[in-house]
Structure 1
């Protein structure tokens, strides 16, 4: 297990978060790879699009695997100037995780959850590394990241 996987597992344990952390031999970097590795549908996967507002704060837009996040909708939802997509370096710096493995919780950010995500009872999100996922209930996810549910997909 790598340091990123251990970091999110510790966070889950210390905060008594009910979810299942899974590590695979194969890559989960892309939505398609994650679905194959976990033997699940693309519909079950969420991705975390990291954005930066004009104050340099991290915004995480959580959308279904096949959807794209709209920076315009995110800006409108928060009543702010349209944010920009974070660079890989900013993602690592602000989340503590590498792109392709970023969880939907566990670090300081403003979390927005697309309404389509909440139609699922259970989702799979990044597990800290490019070869791990976390299976978690959407209700728990919303609670632990204090997520605002709104339409943010394109």
Structure 2
């Protein structure tokens, strides 16, 4: 899969490792930045896409955060660059479907993916969920 099939890949001059850094790098509010969090639940890896300003309650989901090595093994991406389109189950916070577009991991710490959440749902790449 090429990320360009799902949105606009924005290449940055400097690495972004936090929501704040990503927002500042492209001049948007932190609410427009999303993060893809990889977890391990019931014998499988899955990912959750949430607003960058939110926290994911892994205990409530019965999961644990994947280690950086597990994230790379499960997704092929390093922590900080994980996009919202993966070869593992991906769930997106339903509240993001109200956004025309958001910015998430673009494959590495020098890239962001500008995408329309509803399009990923329509194309069957993510499943909406209340978080």
1:83 is aligned to 2:92: no
Structure 1 gap segments, 5+ residues each: 1-9, 76-81
Match of 2:81 among 98, 101, 110: 101
In structure 2, which of residues 52, 75, 79 is the aligned counterpart of residue 65 of structure 1? 52
- Describe the superposition over 1:43-88 as per-residue Cα deviations: whole angstroms up to 9, x where unpaired: 1111011101121x21111100100112244x3xxxxxx1111000
Query: Are the counterparts in 1 of residues 6 and 120 from structure 2 also a CA contact under 8 Å?
Result: no
Structure 1 pair 12/132, CA: closer, same or farther in 2 (3 Å)? closer
Whole-angstrom CA distance in 1 between matches of 2:59 and 2:127: 16
Which contiguous aligned blocks of 4+ residues in structure 1 show a shift greater than 6 angstroms?
none
Is residue 40–residue 64 contact of structure 2 (8 Å, CA) maintained in 1? yes
| Cα displacement (A) at 1:115 | 1.8
| RMSD between superposed Cα atoms in Å | 1.6
Name the structure with the higher helix share. 1
- Rounded to whole Å, the distance in 1 between the matches of 2:81 and 2:42 is 25
Distance 1:144 1:37 in 2: 29
Deviation at residue 28 of structure 1 after TM alignment: 1.8
For residue 21 of structure 2, the aligned residue among 30, 33, 47 is 33
Task: Provide TM-score, normalisation by structure 1.
Answer: 0.78
Aligned residues: 131
Q: Which residue of 2 aligns with 1:110?
A: 89
- SS at structure 2 position matched to 1:98: coil
The TM-score with structure 2 as length reference comes to 0.91
